[in-house]
Amino acid sequence: MKPQFSVDVILAQVIIENLYKSYASPKGKFSDSNDLSLGVVTSASTEKLEPQKKVLNTNVLKGINLEIQEGEFMVLVGPSGCGKSTLLRLIAGLEEISAGKIIIGDRTVNDLPPKSRDIAMVFQNYALYPHLKVYDNIAFGLRRMNPTQVEKKSLISTDKIIGNLSRALPTRWHYLSAQEKIIQEKVYQVAQLLEIDHLLDRLPKQLSGGQKQRVALGRAIARNPQTFLMDEPLSNLDAKLRTQTRSQIVKLQKQLQVTTIYVTHDQTEAMTMGDRIAIMNNGEIQQVATPLEVYHRPANKFVAQFIGSPPMNFMEVNWQKPNLIIHDSFNLSLPQQWLEIMGNYNYEKVYLGIRPEHFYLTTKEEASIPVIVNLVESLGNETLITANLENKPQQNLQVRIFSEQIINIGQTIYLGINLKKVSLFDFYQGKNVINNNDYISLDNKNN
């Protein structure tokens, strides 16, 4: 076993293999209980049931595979209800898995209780003990650790009792047992790291939200775990504090190098914090990659619309073999290089994806798409425009421009597309059809 109070970092990989989680429906019973034990409720098994006993979708996680490297900051991001917290709780051991395998460091932890997994969790609601001072909140986890790590068992007894009694006094008057001395050193060290050393004598109710969150972080760090698990830890903070704490956590993690799994529904947090991001939807991982890769090469339409704000624009266009993309407002011709890839694309329709910043303002005379402006948001450094296609008003486009030009609501403007940056998505499965889209040329139907 590693010494619990050493500052040495034990680098641990976290590997998740084919993980399933289902919840039994409270309303119905399964006709075949084997399905439940495997965590796989197939439609075939639900069909066997009486209609009134049909099991609703109870598969919360469906075959999650994820490898988190030693010391990596991995962000799990996805819409509310997609299974992020469930996945984190399974890794922590707070709930039982239905099928699959979880490995932390060199151990399979499937059957280990949370306290044996060498993890520390930080939650959105801080989960501080309200009747304990900051000092004792940070020390709490350390005191619960196996005392043989810090002192001989024989030292506990009266020494410890006196120590407990003196805890009601201000921190500097505490009577310190041998174990407490080591704990105190650790608490001070962590408090300094988080700049909360002046708060050690306060109760949680005497702290601001940001301070509470730092205490919660401190408690996790003090335990020196192999892995941090954080579930939306910044959600209760106001916008400015959130941004600050965001960068503090990243800095700390780089300093401590503890493997971290961080859950958020906020794509900005994901993009700014993660070494890599795992985007989840509906109990499945959609893509695992670096922030820039995810942004520039989204694996599918879901990822493309989830990452980026405002989101990517999608237009339903016709695909005409061998090389033509046809929209009511414009045509795109694909160059030779793409024909091989698109040769396998057999549907008549495809989604064209364009990020807001990949439009630019141009003139009627150039190859362009005429749109009518219906909202202008000037943010100073950039302007966000919502507009509708002139000849297809139900199609809404979000456009980001970096120009001082005054644009008014109701005005017709002409948009060009940065063709090197567009994406194409399979019309039915939503998969990114072409990632390497360097060579499209645009013909304007209006010319």
- Which residues, including other chains, have CB under 8 Å from residue 232's CB and lie 6 or more apart? 123, 124, 263, 264, 265
Of 78-86, 99-107, 307-315, 333-341, the segment contacting ligand ADP by CB under 6 A is 78-86
Q: Quick one: tokens of 290?
A: 């670096």
Measuring CA to CA, how many Å separate 322 from each of 134, 294, 336, 342, 440?
A: 68, 29, 9, 8, 14
Q: Which of 4, 85, 226, 245 contacts ligand ADP by CB under 6 A? A: 85
What is the C-alpha to C-alpha distance for residues 283 and 286, in angstroms, rounded to an integer? 9
Q: Contact letters (x/-) for Mg ion, 67-96, by CB under 5 A?
A: ------------------x-----------
Q: DSSP strand E in 116-167: where?
A: 119-123
Q: Quick one: tokens of 438?
A: 């360097």
By a kind-dependent CB cut-off of 5 to 8 A, residue 23 interacts, out of ligand ADP, Mg ion, none, with ligand ADP
Closest CA to 77 of 308, 250, 240, 258: 308
Q: Of 284 and 390, which has the nearer Cβ to ligand ADP? A: 284
Q: Quick one: tokens of 105?
A: 């460091």
Q: Of 150 and 237, which has the nearer Cβ to Mg ion? A: 237
- 431 close to 323: Cβ distance less than 8 angstroms: no
Measuring CA to CA, how many Å separate 231 from each of 85, 343, 414?
A: 7, 44, 44
Closest CA to 390 of 369, 417, 375, 368: 369
Q: Contact letters (x/-) for ligand ADP, 295-334, by CB under 6 A?
A: ----------------------------------------
Say whether 132 sits in a helix, a strand or coil.
coil
Instruction: Write down the least CB distance from residue 194 to Mg ion, Å.
Output: 24
What is the C-alpha to C-alpha distance for residues 48 and 264, in angstroms, rounded to an integer? 38
Q: Quick one: tokens of 399?
A: 């456009």
Q: Of 164 and 305, which has the nearer Cβ to ligand ADP? A: 305
368 counts as binding Mg ion under rule CB under 5 A: no
83 counts as binding ligand ADP under rule CB under 6 A: yes
Instruction: Write down the least CB distance from residue 98 to ligand ADP, Å.
Output: 12
Instruction: Write down the least CB distance from residue 23 to Mg ion, Å.
Output: 15
Q: Of 3 and 81, which has the nearer Cβ to ligand ADP? A: 81
Q: Which of 82, 122, 196, 440 contacts ligand ADP by CB under 6 A? A: 82
By a kind-dependent CB cut-off of 5 to 8 A, residue 124 interacts, out of ligand ADP, Mg ion, none, with none
What is the C-alpha to C-alpha distance for residues 389 and 369, in angstroms, rounded to an integer? 8
Closest CA to 208 of 216, 253, 159: 216
What is the C-alpha to C-alpha distance for residues 369 and 329, in angstroms, rounded to an integer? 6
Instruction: Write down the least CB distance from residue 81 to ligand ADP, Å.
Output: 4
Q: Which of 59, 86, 395, 398 contacts ligand ADP by CB under 6 A? A: 86
Q: What is the DSSP letter of 312?
A: P
What is the C-alpha to C-alpha distance for residues 345 and 343, in angstroms, rounded to an integer? 5
- Is residue 298 exposed (0-12), middle (13-18) or buried (19+ Cβ within 10 Å)? buried
- 182 close to 5: Cβ distance less than 8 angstroms: yes
Q: Which of 16, 60, 122, 215 contacts ligand ADP by CB under 6 A? A: 60
Of 76-84, 121-129, 133-141, 245-253, the segment contacting ligand ADP by CB under 6 A is 76-84
Instruction: Write down the least CB distance from residue 79 to ligand ADP, Å.
Output: 7
Instruction: Write down the least CB distance from residue 236 to ligand ADP, Å.
Output: 15
400 counts as binding ligand ADP under rule CB under 6 A: no
Instruction: Write down the least CB distance from residue 26 to Mg ion, Å.
Output: 21
Of 77-85, 208-216, 317-325, 424-432, the segment contacting ligand ADP by CB under 6 A is 77-85
264 counts as binding Mg ion under rule CB under 5 A: no
Q: Of 78 and 105, which has the nearer Cβ to Mg ion? A: 78
81 counts as binding ligand ADP under rule CB under 6 A: yes
What is the H or E stretch that residue 341 is in?
helix 336-343
Contact positions with ligand ADP (CB under 6 A) in 6-35: 23
The footprint of ligand ADP (CB under 6 A) covers 23, 60, 78, 80-86
